[in-house]
Amino acid sequence: MEPDFDVIIPIVVIAVIGLVGVFVLLAIVRALRRASTNLLLGSTSVMDSIPPQGVRARGLVLTSNRVSSGVTVNGRRFERRSMTLDIEIPGRPPFVTSGSFLVPRGIVEALPGSSLELSIHATDMSQITVLGPGGFTGPWLKPGPPNTY
């Protein structure tokens, strides 16, 4: 009896495609786990560590990278953007800082010349959180006022 190649070949092709699909899916899951771990150990932990009574400030965007990456962490949506900010804290001299900041996505435009509401850790001035307009943070940021959901 001869093997029926019209039946065997499609079965082998489907099995190979299935195995490749499983390996690709596993690679994607591993990459997402690594990315979320890095994000949680990076900028978002800064947001979670700033107390609700953090020092409020205003930042003027001096330069902003046109390319940003979308980031979602624990249901929070951000754009990671490299910027240089001129920060003014009431009662203190202004200072300029550069870095990569997580900007709330969809409600804040971080373009050169725009003004941002900020919350800064009271003792560690390098921990800066970009808030929404008027200091509103909504449910996606922890640092509080005016109304946390």
Task: Report pLDDT for 21.
Answer: 93
Going by C-beta distance under 8 Å and a sequence separation of 6 or more, which residues neighbour residue 43? 80, 100, 101, 102
Distance CA 110, CA 68 (A): 10
pLDDT in tens, 37-94: 444 444 444 455 455 567 888 899 999 988 888 888 777 788 888 999 999 988 889 9
Q: Hey, what are 77's tokens? A: 């949506």
Distance CA 46, CA 127 (A): 6
Strands, E, within the chain: which ranges?
55-64, 69-73, 76-88, 95-104, 115-120, 128-130
Q: Which comes out higher in pLDDT, residue 19 or 121?
A: 19
Q: What is the pTM of this model?
A: 0.56
Q: Which comes out higher in pLDDT, residue 109 or 20?
A: 20
Structural domain boundaries in the chain: 43-137
